[in-house]
A and B are shown apart, each in its own frame.
Chain A
């Protein structure tokens, strides 16, 4: 018989500490949708997605109801679209994004990822066409998410792509200026992108993946924070153990839901992504966990060390709880989506430079950060290059999702609503990086011996 205390502790986690399954994401391969005629290719894409993901949302809701655990998002990721669209004889790839958007609406999911290109070493004609179409594609669609991988530990950093992406981010902001550049919230620039990430906006279904697969992203910053409150003042060994135990429990639940979803949808189970993904709700913040460790405000000295411990302990706890762990797995630090980060950025303690340091030790990177609308494309490219360099050298995924909201200045706030939250505009360095970005070419892959 189960212990009453355990049962009630689970219910408290769900009710008061925002424990949830953040996303069930179905990855779908679109490689067999290639067609020389773009219209036919789009039809195949729509038909395949809507056939495979027909019951995704309903199944998610059924599981939610039976197990009494909220499943916040049901989503779809597809093969990087540049690989599919490349077979079609057309200059304009926007119709492919529209087909994805229509399919997402039909299935009832709230995001579809994979309007993507992988250009870490070089760009094909299709990659370039896709990248150049991103601003229009994100403005014309509601649910499509886009990502571009510009570097990897094995290939180095494609600085031509980095330069191009700075301009694309600016153009995307300009095309969605009426919504404070909301398009940029759906565009991620990666280094070392992973093929099985269930989280948006960076999810795509890699070419090494199966025909279709179920990936699940768990969450639970509130549960970790609450567990740490019980060990206030104790040494870090105790902190690490407490985080591990909590992460284990949360991941076991994710594993159960992933297996159940996989069985009901007759789709192989892929991975559980052990991420602490915050939301703007009070009590669901990663920043507050770091502060619970003894920091007055997130961003002050000690923040990087606190985050390193948290990120590692989450993985150690979670990895034993799931038969297959993957995705980004770690702590996310999206500024606009984290109530504590928003507060820390607003009071000036949390800066872009500190966030960059934090990305060296946690999953992903400079995420959902509003910067002044007048920030130049070259500066955005240079920020992307810095972040890609951190990922490349440290053999980890890093990403940049900046929001240069047109007309906004430091001190203003961008309101995106819902889980995307609100972002105070943060200052960037105004000294030029233009000559650096104008060089182009490739930063070679790093050496993997002589480590220091």
Chain B
């Protein structure tokens, strides 16, 4: 099952490292990453495969949120279907 991880906030050292480490520890495979600075904000979108992870998306979401608090940025994970539904016919 694929999901989308989005990270938005002030740019600082260690954001990508932190997120990728957490995902790797939870056996989540990263399929694609795009990252830019949008209106002065660090913005990263990752497509990930969570099918081999022992954790549910809900649990991964809780862990990512906790990491986001630590780094003072917003991190979320959502199932890919929600974006497909809204932006593709």
Q: Report whether chain A binds chain B.
A: yes
Q: Please tell me if the beta carbons of B34 and A4 are within 8 angstroms of each other in the complex.
A: yes
| Residue of B whose beta carbon sits closest to that of A63 | B79
Which residues on the B side are within 8 Å of A3 (C-beta)? 87
Most chain A CB within 10 A, of B61, B81, B83, B84, is at B83
Mind listing 10 A-B residue pairs with CB under 8 Å?
Answer: A1-B47, A4-B36, A7-B83, A11-B8, A66-B56, A66-B57, A66-B79, A67-B78, A249-B86, A256-B85
User: Does any Cβ of A come within 8 Å of B13's Cβ?
Assistant: no
User: Does any Cβ of B come within 8 Å of A25's Cβ?
Assistant: no
User: Does any Cβ of B come within 8 Å of A62's Cβ?
Assistant: yes
Out of B8, B79, B87, name the residue touching A67 (CB < 8 Å). Answer: B79
Q: Report A115-147 residues with CB < 8 Å from chain B CB.
A: none
Q: How far is the CA of A4 from the CA of B79 in the complex (A)?
A: 15
Are A252 and B79 also in contact (CB < 8 A) when A1-B32, A2-B47, A62-B58 are? no
What is the minimal beta-carbon distance from B12 to any residue of chain A, in angstroms? 20
Q: Please tell me if the beta carbons of A8 and B82 are within 8 angstroms of each other in the complex.
A: no
Q: How far is the CA of A10 from the CA of B57 in the complex (A)?
A: 18
Q: Please tell me if the beta carbons of B81 and A256 are within 8 angstroms of each other in the complex.
A: yes
Out of A8, A67, A252, name the residue touching B6 (CB < 8 Å). Answer: A8
Which residues on the B side are within 8 Å of A249 (C-beta)? 86-87
User: Does any Cβ of A come within 8 Å of B27's Cβ?
Assistant: no
Contact with A along B26-63 (1 / 0, CB 8 A): 00000010101010000101010000000011100100
User: Does any Cβ of A come within 8 Å of B80's Cβ?
Assistant: yes
User: Does any Cβ of B come within 8 Å of A69's Cβ?
Assistant: yes
Which residues on the B side are within 8 Å of A68 (C-beta)? 61, 76-79, 82
Which residues on the B side are within 8 Å of A4 (C-beta)? 34, 36, 43, 45
| Residue of A whose beta carbon sits closest to that of B47 | A1
User: Does any Cβ of B come within 8 Å of A65's Cβ?
Assistant: yes
Rank and list the top 8 A-B pairs by shortest CB-CB distance, nearest first. A68-B78, A65-B58, A6-B87, A256-B85, A252-B85, A66-B57, A67-B82, A249-B86
- Considering only CB atoms and an 8 Å cut-off, how many residues of chain B contact the other chain? 26
Q: How far is the CA of A244 from the CA of B64 in the complex (A)?
A: 35
Q: How far is the CA of A65 from the CA of B82 in the complex (A)?
A: 12
| Residue of A whose beta carbon sits closest to that of B4 | A7
Q: Report A54-101 residues with CB < 8 Å from chain B CB.
A: 62, 65-69
What is the minimal beta-carbon distance from B65 to any residue of chain A, in angstroms? 11
Q: Please tell me if the beta carbons of B83 and A69 are within 8 angstroms of each other in the complex.
A: no
Q: How far is the CA of A404 from the CA of B19 in the complex (A)?
A: 55
- Considering only CB atoms and an 8 Å cut-off, how many residues of chain A contact the other chain? 20
Q: How far is the CA of A4 from the CA of B37 in the complex (A)?
A: 12
Report B's interface with A, CB cutoff 8 A. 4, 6, 8, 32, 34, 36, 38, 43, 45, 47, 56-58, 61, 76-87
Are A66 and B80 also in contact (CB < 8 A) when A1-B47, A4-B45 are? no
Which residues on the A side are within 8 Å of B76 (C-beta)? 11, 68
Q: How far is the CA of A252 from the CA of B89 in the complex (A)?
A: 9
| Residue of A whose beta carbon sits closest to that of B32 | A1
Q: Report A234-263 residues with CB < 8 Å from chain B CB.
A: 249, 252-253, 255-256
Which residues on the A side are within 8 Å of B84 (C-beta)? 2
Q: How far is the CA of A180 from the CA of B43 in the complex (A)?
A: 48
Q: Please tell me if the beta carbons of B85 and A8 are within 8 angstroms of each other in the complex.
A: no
Which residues on the A side are within 8 Å of B83 (C-beta)? 2, 6-7, 10
Q: Report A1-19 residues with CB < 8 Å from chain B CB.
A: 1-4, 6-8, 10-11
Which residues on the B side are within 8 Å of A7 (C-beta)? 4, 6, 45, 83
What is the minimal beta-carbon distance from A317 to any residue of chain B, in angstroms? 13
Q: How far is the CA of A68 from the CA of B5 in the complex (A)?
A: 11
Which residues on the A side are within 8 Å of B56 (C-beta)? 66
Q: Please tell me if the beta carbons of B4 and A2 are within 8 angstroms of each other in the complex.
A: yes
Q: How far is the CA of A365 from the CA of B45 in the complex (A)?
A: 43
What is the minimal beta-carbon distance from A130 to any residue of chain B, in angstroms? 41
Q: Report A188-244 residues with CB < 8 Å from chain B CB.
A: none
What is the minimal beta-carbon distance from B60 to any residue of chain A, in angstroms? 10
Q: Please tell me if the beta carbons of A252 and B58 are within 8 angstroms of each other in the complex.
A: no
Out of B8, B45, B82, name the residue touching A256 (CB < 8 Å). Answer: B82
| Residue of A whose beta carbon sits closest to that of B6 | A11
Out of B32, B45, B58, name the residue touching A66 (CB < 8 Å). Answer: B58
Q: Please tell me if the beta carbons of B81 and A10 are within 8 angstroms of each other in the complex.
A: no
Q: How far is the CA of A253 from the CA of B88 in the complex (A)?
A: 11
Q: Please tell me if the beta carbons of A67 and B86 are within 8 angstroms of each other in the complex.
A: no
Are A253 and B82 also in contact (CB < 8 A) when A1-B32, A1-B47, A11-B6 are? yes
